[in-house]
Amino acid sequence: MGFLLEQFEKSGVNKPLLVRPNCISRSELIDRANLKAKTHKEKYMRVNSAHVEDFPADFLAAEMLSIPLILGDGKLEDKLGEVNFFTSGTEGNPKLVSKTWKQIFSSVKESESLRGNLWFTAFNPLLFAGLQVFAQAVVSGGSIALSCGDLDKDADFLRQQKNFNINATPSWIRNFIIFSDTSSIEPRRIVLGGEAVDQRLLDNLSKKFPHAKITHIYATSELGACFEVRDGKAGIPVELMQDNCKIEDSRLFVKRNGVWIDTADRVELCDGRLIFKGRAADVANVGGRKVSLQDVEELYWDIDGIKDIVAYPVKNSVCGEIVAIDVVCDKSNIDRIKEKIKDISCNTPDKFSVARIVNFVERIQTSAAGKKKRV
């Protein structure tokens, strides 16, 4: 019996594994997998985001056939593993990562308090974070509900649930609390990952969901989960780092199997915590000067009324790039915020590191992985 099927059987329950988009029990998923395996002709099983209606059945079918499972539409490589998915990579180019189901399930937690929970996930189920949620739901005898892409509908759905956890990127949940009515939504847990979490968001989440345990996880597709933080503070306490981490040129390196891996995350140590300053690629080249886009966002974040903000580089023939920001706020506040941004920019001595272009938008775009897009 394959590892994945064994996990299905082991959980010992027949409640639906998938609740949304469709409600499908474990036994029915196994039946569907058997049917898919009988009719599948290709040498690998590819699943893309357009067809996730019964994605666990595809996972099982691939295992039954002992063929590689390919998640997403990216370009394949010659060498394929058991489970193959695409990640944004360190410099923005999608790359293929291969893992076994055993590796994907290795960081799953088994605990009575998690048994039978509903795992609502805004993570793409075909990317690493989504696969972790899938694995957790399988092992803990729970169910998975996928975000439908409509925040109001997601909110309505969650309002009817009990014993559920929300798993999402900081950008997704920020949009969720800004744009949806989250009253009467009471998650047991909120698990954040995929992006740096700032203290502002953690504080807002604690106020909105006072009974939820909030965890933020630092993980990469290549390394897996590295750190979990539950103390309500941004960054990672240095005590968790031990000898497995080092900082070089402000970049975080993590040791795996004796090898130092460059995470391409920019970090700094502050008050006993490792604070994430953004991806190494998230810089603008302004007249030859590297400017951190996250630092530019930080300049304006505390302006009263700003709900969300993203900085990104804009090319020009004069100095390479300048920094633009898209700002989300109530329309009634735009004029005041515009003036405040102008004040801050004019009073910042380093003119390379301010936003030169300011746009007011309805919402910040996010990628398929739920992360802020810097375009």
Partner 1 sequence: MQSKIDILETELKAVFENNKKVCPPLTDDTPLDSTFGLDSLDWAEFAVRYQKKTGVDIFEDLNLRLKTYSDLKKLAK
Coil, helix or strand for 196? coil
Please tell me the count of residues contacting partner 1 according to CB under 8 A.
16
For the chain, report the end-to-end CA distance as a whole number of angstroms.
46
Nearer to partner 1, 14 or 365 (CB): 365
Q: Which residue reads 């189901």 in tokens?
A: 101
Binding status of residue 336 toward partner 1 by CB under 8 A: no
Looking at residue 97, the DSSP 8-state letter turns out to be E
Q: In this chain, which stretch among 136-144, 183-191, 242-250, 317-325 interacts with partner 1, using CB under 8 A?
A: 317-325
Binding status of residue 318 toward partner 1 by CB under 8 A: yes
In angstroms, give the least distance from the CB of 306 to partner 1: 18
Binding status of residue 314 toward partner 1 by CB under 8 A: yes
Stretch 206-235 residues interacting with partner 1 (CB under 8 A): none
Binding status of residue 349 toward partner 1 by CB under 8 A: no
No. of H helices and E strands in the chain?
Answer: 11, 22
Nearer to partner 1, 183 or 317 (CB): 317
Coil, helix or strand for 130? helix
Q: In this chain, which stretch among 156-164, 208-216, 327-335, 351-359 interacts with partner 1, using CB under 8 A?
A: 351-359
In angstroms, give the least distance from the CB of 353 to partner 1: 10
Q: H or E element: which one contains 310?
A: strand 308-316
- Measured CA to CA, the distance from residue 138 to residue 104 in angstroms comes to 12
Binder of partner 1 out of 109, 153, 230, 351 (CB under 8 A): 351
In angstroms, give the least distance from the CB of 217 to partner 1: 38
Nearer to partner 1, 84 or 353 (CB): 353
Binding status of residue 346 toward partner 1 by CB under 8 A: yes
Do the Cβ atoms of 41 and 19 come closer than 8 Å?
no
Binding status of residue 259 toward partner 1 by CB under 8 A: no
Nearer to partner 1, 92 or 287 (CB): 287
Rounded (10°) CA dihedral 155, 159, 165, 169: 10
Binding status of residue 287 toward partner 1 by CB under 8 A: yes
The residues, any chain, with a CB within 8 Å of residue 265's CB and separated by 6 or more, are 196, 251, 252, 276, 278, 279, 280
Nearer to partner 1, 109 or 290 (CB): 290
In angstroms, give the least distance from the CB of 342 to partner 1: 6
Binding status of residue 357 toward partner 1 by CB under 8 A: yes
Binding status of residue 309 toward partner 1 by CB under 8 A: no
Binder of partner 1 out of 122, 322, 329, 364 (CB under 8 A): 322
Nearer to partner 1, 53 or 343 (CB): 343
- Measured CA to CA, the distance from residue 20 to residue 164 in angstroms comes to 13
Report which residue type is found at 232: G
In angstroms, give the least distance from the CB of 371 to partner 1: 25
Find how far residue 309's CA is from the centre of its chain: 18
The backbone torsions φ and ψ at residue 103, rounded to the nearest 5 degrees and listed phi first, read -65, -40
- Measured CA to CA, the distance from residue 56 to residue 26 in angstroms comes to 9
Task: Give the long-range contacts of residues 9-16, CB within 8 A, separation 24 or more.
Answer: 10/139, 11/138, 11/139, 11/140, 11/141, 12/141, 13/116, 13/141, 15/116, 15/141, 15/142, 15/143, 16/143
Binding status of residue 290 toward partner 1 by CB under 8 A: no
Residues that bind partner 1 (CB under 8 A): 286-287, 314, 316-319, 322, 324, 342, 345-346, 351-352, 356-357
